[in-house]
Amino acid sequence: MATQHPLPAVVTVEETGSTQQDLLAAAVDEQRWPHLSGIRALRQTSGRGRAGRTWETDRLAALTVSLVLRPALPVQRWPWLPLLTGVAVVDALAAAGAPAALKWPNDVVLPARSEAPGWGRRRKVGGILAEVLPGGRGVVVGLGLNLDGEPPVAWATTLAAHGCRVPAEDLLDAVRARLSTLLASDPDGWREVVAQRCVTIGARVRVQLPGGREAGGTAVGLDEVGALVVEDADGGRTAVTAGDVEHLRTAPEGR
C-alpha cells in the first residue's frame, strides 16, 4: 500500500489583489513552494477569470485560492491539470452533498430549476484558471468557489443556496487530497474520469473563437489532450482547446 504523505501548507492571507498573481510571482522558488502548496485569501479585491475577465466577490463569501502543481508529467499532459482540478472540486462537493458538475473548460456548476441564457438549467458556482509558471517550472491553478451571499450575475449561484454550508477550510482540504490522488493516477484514465463529470458532453453548444469565428454543434467528447470535440450538423468534427475558446454557451436545445 502506498504511503499517504501529508500535503504542504497553504498560506492564508487576510486580503490581497489576486492569489493567482501572488503565487505566479512567488512560486519560482520551488523549495519554498512545493507541489500542491498555495495561497488562500480571505478577501480578494482583483480576482481574474479566463481571458482576463474579472471575478467579483464583494457581495460573496468565497473560497479563493491558488495552488502550484508540479506533477511528474510531460508537458503534453498539462492541459489536463485544470480539468482534473475541476474533477477534484466536483468530487469534494459531492461528498459534501452538493450535486456539482463540470462545464468545459473551467466552470463548476450546480443544477437549477429555470433556464438561463447560455447556461441551460445550470448555474456557475465556481471557476478555475490555470497558468504556466515562468520557465515551465509548474502550473498555478486558481480556484474560486461561491460559498454564500449574493452573486453579481443571474447565471451564478452559491453553495449555501443549495443547502451546502461546508467550511471553506474543510472544502479546500478535500479538494487538495482528491487532486493529489488524481495526479498520481494513470493518465490513460483521465479522459474517462473527466468525461463522467462533464455536463457539456452530449449538449448542443456554441463556441466563440478568436477573430469572431464560431463553431456550433454537439459536444461529443474529449480528445487525448482534453480538447472538446464538437460535431456539426454535417458530421464534421472540430477539436477546440481551452486556450482558443473565448466563450462556450449551451444552445437552447441543450441541458
Domain of 90, CATH number, reads 3.30.930.10
Contacts of 116 (CB under 8 A, 6+ apart): 122, 123, 154, 155
The grid coordinates of residue 140 equal: 498555478
Residue 67 · residue 8 · CB < 8 Å: no
The letter for the amino acid at 171 is L
What is the domain-level CATH number for residue 240? 2.30.30.100
pLDDT on residue 52:
52
pLDDT on residue 49:
56
Alpha-carbon gap, residue 51 to 69, rounded angstroms: 21
pTM here is 0.91
Counting the structural domains of the chain, the total is 2
SS3 133: coil
Alpha-carbon gap, residue 144 to 64, rounded angstroms: 5
Alpha-carbon gap, residue 121 to 241, rounded angstroms: 24
Alpha-carbon gap, residue 58 to 113, rounded angstroms: 26
> In tens digits, what is the pLDDT along the chain, a chain of 255 residues?
344 568 999 999 999 999 999 999 999 999 999 999 999 999 988 766 555 555 555 657 999 999 999 999 999 999 999 999 999 999 999 999 999 999 999 999 999 999 888 888 999 999 999 999 988 999 999 999 999 998 888 999 999 999 999 999 999 999 999 999 999 999 999 999 999 999 999 999 988 877 778 878 999 999 999 999 999 999 999 899 987 776 788 765 444
Alpha-carbon gap, residue 172 to 178, rounded angstroms: 10
Residues 155 and 123 in one domain: yes
Residues 134 and 224 in one domain: no
Where in the sequence is the domain holding 229, given as residue range(s)?
204-250
